[in-house]
């Protein structure tokens, strides 16, 4: 039997995440400006494959923090589709693995900054995603610059300059190296 303040009956079926999935998909399509964009929910990490966005399936338990991270991943990939020009990017891409990694990371920061400047919800979603990303990467223990990827640090500085948003707390240490 449910207790005071408990709105769920014991033994009730798990929450229906279909409306949430539809909302995420519709937002991604709107941001990407692609009505036919395919959004797939999987048990894997979020990834953009061509014109398909793969997001982590909410599963049975999904916190508000996890929702913000998932929304941030969706927004990030949708902005990449909307703002990135593959031909221009390829034409100006530098040679060398390290230079290319910095170039690619700065391009992603640029795409995300466009959305963050124009849409406050996207801004907070991207912030949640980045905070989660860098706290999981555990760069707080980095002692030397070589302990953390330079492309990530450069992307965070570029993001800060383009949006005025501070570097996420979980990234401050390695950005300052």
Residue 14: its pLDDT value, please? Answer: 67
The Cα–Cα gap between 15 and 30 comes to 26
Residue 15: its pLDDT value, please? Answer: 75
Contact (Cβ atoms closer than 8 angstroms) between residue 128 and residue 65 = yes
In a 10 Å sphere around its CB, with 0-12 CB exposed, 13-18 middle and 19+ buried, how is residue 51 labelled? exposed
10-residue stretch averages of pLDDT, the chain, 177 residues long: 56 79 97 97 95 90 91 98 98 98 98 97 97 91 88 97 95 90
Q: Tell me which residue of 132, 138, 133, 165 sits closest to 65, measured CA to CA.
A: 132
Looking at the whole model, is its pTM more than 0.75? yes
């Amino acid at each position: 039997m449910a207790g005071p303040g408990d709105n769920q009956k014991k033994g009730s079926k798990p929450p229906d995440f279909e409306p949430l999935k539809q909302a995420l998909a519709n937002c991604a399509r709107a941001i990407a400006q692609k009505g036919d964009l395919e959004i797939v929910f999987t048990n894997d990490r979020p990834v953009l494959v061509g014109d398909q966005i793969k997001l982590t399936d909410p599963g049975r338990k999904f916190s508000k923090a996890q929702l913000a991270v998932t929304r941030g991943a969706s927004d990030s990939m949708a902005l990449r589709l909307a703002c990135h020009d593959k031909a221009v990017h390829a034409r100006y891409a530098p040679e060398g693995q390290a230079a290319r990694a910095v170039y690619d990371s700065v391009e992603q920061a640029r795409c995300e900054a466009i959305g963050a400047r124009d849409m406050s919800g996207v801004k907070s979603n991207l912030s949640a995603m980045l905070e989660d990303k860098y706290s999981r990467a555990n760069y707080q223990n980095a002692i030397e610059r070589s302990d953390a990827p330079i492309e990530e640090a450069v992307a965070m500085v570029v993001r800060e300059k383009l949006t005025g948003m501070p570097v996420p707390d979980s990234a401050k240490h390695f950005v300052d190296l």
